[in-house]
Amino acid sequence: MSAQIAKRPKNVNSRLSAALGYATKLRWYVVPCNGKVPLIKDWPKRASKNPEQIKRWWREFPDANISIAAGKSGLCVLDVDGEEGQQSLTKLRGNKRPRTVRAKTGGGGEHSVFKRPEGGLKNRTRIMPGLDIKCDGGLFVVAPSIHESGSPYRWKEGQSPFECEVKAAPPWLLELVWNGSKEGKPTDHPIELDLAKMLKEGIRGGERDDTLFRLMLRLKRLRALEDLEFIAKLVQKHLTDEGHHPFTEQDALKCARSAWKSEYTDTVLGKEETGLEIWDSKEPKPQWIIRGFIREGLALLAGPSKGGKSWIALEMALSVVLNGRKCFDSFKAETCQALYVDLEDTAANNKVRLRKLMSKRRDANLSNLKVRREWPPGESGADTLEDYLRDHLQIKLVVIDCLARVRASRKKNQDLLDYDYKTLACYRRVAHDFHVAVVVIHHFNKGAGLNDEFDRISGSTGLQAVPDTLIAYDGKRGARGGKVQITGRVAKDKAFAIERDSDERPIWKDAEEYEFTTAQKEVIQQLREVHPDSMSPRDLSDIVGTKPGTMRKRLLTMKNKGLIEAIGDGRNTRYRAIKKSKRGDSD
């Protein structure tokens, strides 16, 4: 950009440190600016709280001012411009000033920072002389940035966002906004549209209680009871003055108090749809990334420690980046790029695993597999993924190995279910926003004995509630494969097995055939190596861990296939392995 950035402070690194503080501690979205002008294109979408992205910006623009995307950060800012703005504010409030986060601007004005009203609010200029509102689509410059006059922006003493809570917008400010709407200024805030219509047209007979009650519900989340009562009386007085006479002041106060006590929140007042509208909607189904296995959305792949989960995950990634390669040599995959976040293994082990799965054949398409070995925890990790996907639109599959490495620290007294739920919810949001599949690797509980494989997933049920797809893999340490079970919101429950070949590549197997073959091998091992003379069905069932009736049926099937031979009959029947020479086998 040709314009010169305003005066450089003595320590430019202080701006980077401050920008990182706003992003990581307050979760505010940062934008680098030349004065007040954004230095990045499409800033409303690219505003970021990702530390790595912010560092890259300040390496490119070391002198940049720090701006915050107000609405995106959940903020609404009253911008008081110079003496004219102070006079307007004094006319409104006397010498009282908002008890919230406040700053002195480099141009001699003030910023009062409030919570963004539910439903949003567009920027407003000159709601009174010298008074503007910055919210959705708005930026405000923060300390320690430098104004073009050379004066710094700074937080009021004791009222910085690190010392003071951001408060809800006060009723007097809402009244000011509403009066602006009444005078014909543009508005598209849902609450304001409803209220503006109410103030202008009144309330139709039979709808007064419901209409006001719904308005109170919309406002209740960010306000105290006395604020609701104030607004209710304000609405009642205006309607009375206009000759609508819908209800008394006592009725209005009763409605506000009922809304305050109600178990419902403004969330019930989102866009209402009918069943027919949902039926006729054009909303597309989540697309397959690996057909019959992985769809767009969040998937949790869990299994025992050292059981081969990483081999499976890498095979999935290779199937999408290598044109024509089927996942597990069975499932067709969309050809696209993949991101593998490997937080468990070393680069050396990655190389060994990759070369084995590729049968030591180098392929130029491997450049479509992106590997990262560092990733921030918690919501910062989801924000990092959001920024990464925005810059890499060809990526359709993301593998995170493993969940434990991207968890944030659990807060003191935080409920475990809530902690687990929030850990994955942020990644599910990113997966659906960008129409990608995000597969997170996790572990089973070390204890065994649970009949349902999904109940063995380590953690609370919060981890099972979030993913669109749950994948349980029962491969044991040292085993060459295991059974895979899949369930989910859209996918039909299914099961199959995978077994690693000589190159360690996981290959699809029929679940029943695999399970039975594995059981047969276990029986033959006992008969051939441990008890070569003979064993009874009861002895075998005790050692292998199956029911006696199941073992008798298995032994009879194996006898009929010529795998073992029976000695005796009836209850005294015992079994022994057939020697290889009898079966015509050779070494």
**Which CATH number applies to 514-583?**
1.10.10.10
Please return the burial class of 59, using the count of CB atoms within 10 Å of its CB with bins 0-12, 13-18 and 19+.
exposed
DSSP state of 404: G
Distance spanning both ends of the chain, measured CA to CA: 77
Name the architecture of domain 13-168.
Answer: 2-Layer Sandwich (3.30)
Nearest to 244 by CA among 204, 272, 277, 210: 204
Cis-peptide into 402, omega within 30 deg? yes
How high is the pLDDT of residue 177? 66
**Which CATH number applies to 288-509?**
3.40.50.300
CA distance 397 to 369: 10
In sequence order, which residues have a C-beta less than 8 Å from that of residue 283 and are 6 or more positions away? Answer: none
Q: What are the residue ranges in the chain where pLDDT is below 50?
A: 1-11, 181-197, 200, 204-208, 222, 263-270, 581-587
Domain boundaries, the chain: 13-168, 172-269, 288-509, 514-583
CA distance 359 to 342: 21
How high is the pLDDT of residue 480? 78
* pLDDT digit string, tens, across residues 317-365: 999 999 889 999 999 999 999 999 999 888 898 898 899 898 888 889 9
CA distance 475 to 21: 44
